[in-house]
């Protein structure tokens, strides 16, 4: 496997404000990373920095052999970055199928494969984006990102606010993506216990700094670490 993403001592934020301080990690092709931390610790800012939506101040940012810092935001999807933002941002007045095809690029993921992965979207293919439940919107946002055939998929709190049954359905799909698809995935979550079993490595942010970078399995088994950084080691998962 070759290296896909490398951050070295990255500082980033909004305007002059610095949110991320000295972040370093790397991922290989097909790798998976759980990006964890409590509210406001910088998880979304890290994804936004990769997508060019937050301001990169300093430090090396390499993706797929290129210096990402010099690639404008609009060119990053083309390079192979797929983003599913927390807000989902689906097009409300387009049908499910139009949402999926409007941004597609050739590759393994096509309409048929996306419908196989998300049978609910197939059932709803003629519905408008604004006629979907929250869970269906999340599926559509993920399906649309897959249609771009990214090398790295960024999922920002995909389970947020969804009913338990949908959460279980999405967790099974995310597991297929992280374990079988060959695509690399960064998964942002506040509920660490649900996603640590699905990812190879984990990065925990605390006020914009990395306080843990290592195997997800190690973090999963360490209640003390989970409690101190995430306050979730001994409490039941929220969903």
Ligand X SMILES: Nc1ncnc2c1ncn2[C@@H]1O[C@H](COP(=O)(O)OP(=O)(O)OP(=O)(O)O)[C@@H](O)[C@H]1O
- Among positions 25, 36, 42, 183, the unique one binding ligand X when judged by CB under 6 A: 42
Smallest separation (angstroms) from ligand X to the CB of 41? 4
Pick the closer one to ligand X by CB: 58 or 130.
Answer: 58
Compute CA distances 223 → 103, 229, 232, whole Å: 42, 10, 8
Shortest distance, CB of residue 154 to ligand X, whole angstroms? 12
* DSSP for 184-223, written as a single string: EEEEEES-HHHHGGG-SEEEEEETTEEEEEEEHHHHHT-H
Binding span for ligand X by CB under 6 A among 13-21, 106-114, 164-172, 224-232:
13-21
Only segment of 3-11, 34-42, 98-106, 122-130 that touches ligand X (CB under 6 A):
34-42
Among 19, 132, 145, 196, indicate the residue that binds ligand X (CB under 6 A).
19
- Give the β-pairing of 66-67 and 55-63: antiparallel
Tell me the three state secondary structure of residue 65. coil
Neighbours of 66 (CB within 10 A): 13
| Rounded CA separation 234/175 (Å) | 23
The answer to whether 45 contacts ligand X (rule: CB under 6 A) is yes
Regarding 220 and contact with ligand X (CB under 6 A), the answer is: no
Query: Of 2, 16, 39, 236, which one interacts with ligand X (CB under 6 A)?
Result: 39
Residues that bind ligand X (CB under 6 A): 14, 17, 19, 37, 39-45, 190
């Amino acid at each position: 496997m070759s290296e896909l993403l490398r951050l070295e001592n990255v500082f980033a934020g909004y305007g002059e404000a610095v949110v991320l301080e000295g972040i370093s990690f790397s991922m290989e092709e097909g790798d998976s990373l759980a990006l964890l931390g409590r509210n406001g610790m910088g998880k979304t800012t890290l994804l936004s920095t990769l997508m060019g939506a937050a301001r990169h101040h300093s430090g090396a940012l390499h993706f797929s052999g290129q210096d990402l810092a010099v690639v404008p935001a609009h060119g990053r999807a083309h390079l192979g970055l797929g983003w599913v933002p927390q807000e989902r941002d689906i097009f409300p007045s387009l049908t499910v199928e139009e949402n999926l095809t409007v941004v597609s690029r050739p590759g393994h993921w096509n309409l048929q494969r996306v419908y196989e992965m998300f049978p609910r979207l197939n059932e709803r293919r003629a519905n408008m984006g604004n006629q979907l439940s929250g869970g269906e919107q999340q599926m559509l946002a993920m399906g649309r990102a897959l249609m771009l055939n990214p090398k790295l998929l960024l999922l920002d709190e995909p389970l947020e606010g969804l009913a338990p049954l949908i959460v279980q359905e999405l967790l099974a799909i995310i597991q297929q993506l992280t374990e079988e698809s060959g695509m690399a995935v960064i998964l942002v979550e506040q509920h660490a216990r649900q996603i640590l079993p699905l990812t190879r490595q984990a990065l925990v942010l605390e006020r914009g700094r990395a306080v843990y970078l290592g195997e997800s399995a190690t973090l999963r088994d360490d209640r003390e670490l989970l409690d101190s950084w995430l306050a979730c080691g001994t409490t039941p998962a929220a969903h």
